[in-house]
Amino acid sequence: MVSGCLSAGLTVAQVDRRTFVGLSVGGLSAIGLPSALHAAAQCVTGLLPSFLPTVLSVDCASKRNFQTFRRNSDEVGLAGCVSMTFVRGNQGSYPAGNLFLFPWLKPKGEKKNFPAAMPVNGTQWVSATPIPDATLPLDEYFIRFVLKAPWPAFIGFLVDNPHSALDAKLDWFSNVDKLADGKGVGIDWTSHNLNGPWFGGSHWIPPTDTCQGNAWRSLVVAGLKHASVAAC
C-alpha cells in the first residue's frame, strides 16, 4: 500500500474564479466590501480560496518522523508542510489543515540509514526513504516525490535544532523553547515556492498579522507540540 496524490489540472470553473478574483481586487472597496476581504484577495494569489483552520491535524507518519528527528537531530532535519485543501492521491487522501513532517539527511547523516514514514491517511503509513540531501527545496521534494501531490495546495517550512539567538531575531526564523516533550526546536518559515501564493508573495510566513501570518505560525507550533508526543 503506497500513497500518493494526483496532480490536478485546472478546470474551467477554476480559471473563471481566478479571472474573477483578478478583476475584482481593484473594485472591492468601490462596491463596499469590507477591507478584510480586500486584504485576503491581495494575500491569496493562487486558485484556491483563503484558508485558516482552528487546529491542525497531525498524521501518525509525521509523529514517527518527529521521533526520528529527536533521536538524531545532528544528522536529520524535518521538511514541514500544511495542506491548504483536501488532497486525494492514488491510494490515500489527506484533509485540509494536516501537518506533514518528513525527514531529510544532513551531511553527517548522508551515509547512514534512518527510518522514514510516508502517510497513507491519518493513521496508516508505509516505510519510505528520507530526502537524501538539501540539493532541492525540501518541502517541494516531499510533496512532488514522496506524496506526489500538487504543490500549490501546500505551505511549507523547516524544523531543526534551535537557531542561534542572533538568527532567531530574523523575520524568517524563530525558536520554540519547549514542545510537549520538554525540548525546543528552531523553525525556518521560508519556502522557495509554496508560501508566496498564500502570503502576498512572501517566501516566509510573516511574523505579523499580515496575511494571517501570526495565526499560521501559532497553528504550526501547536501542531509540532502535538507531533512531539509519543508516536501512534
- Mean pLDDT throughout 45-69? 96
Predicted pLDDT of residue 232: 82
Nearest to 227 by CA among 73, 52, 102, 94: 102
Percent of the chain with pLDDT strictly greater than 70 = 81
Q: Which stretch of DSSP H or E encloses residue 219?
A: helix 213-227
Position 123 scores a pLDDT of 94
> Residue 231: pLDDT band by 50, 70, 90 thresholds?
confident
* Residue 13: per-residue pLDDT: 40
Per-residue pLDDT, 41: 55
What angle is formed at CA 177 by the lines to CA 175 and CA 182, rounded to 5 degrees? 135
Mean pLDDT of 7-26: 40
Could you give the CA distance from residue 215 to residue 152 in angstroms, rounded to a whole number? Answer: 20
CA-wise closest residue to 50 among 216, 218, 206, 203: 216
Tell me: pLDDT of 17 over 50: no
pLDDT value, residue 88: 81
Question: What pLDDT, in 10s, does the model give residues 114-125?
Answer: 999 999 999 999
> What is the pLDDT at residue 162?
98
Average pLDDT, the chain: 86
Separation of alpha carbons 151 and 194, rounded Å: 7
| Total-model pTM | 0.83
As a whole number of angstroms, the distance between CA 81 and CA 97 comes to: 10
Quick: pLDDT tens for 130-177.
999 999 999 999 999 999 999 999 999 999 999 999 999 999 999 999
Work out the pLDDT band at 40, boundaries 50, 70, 90.
low
Domain chopping of the chain, boundaries: 12-43, 57-227
Percent of the chain scoring above 90 in pLDDT = 77
- Please name the residue that has the C-alpha cell 484533509: 95
- Per-residue b or e along 123-138, where b marks 16 or more CB atoms closer than 10 Å to that residue's CB: ebbeebebbeeeeebb
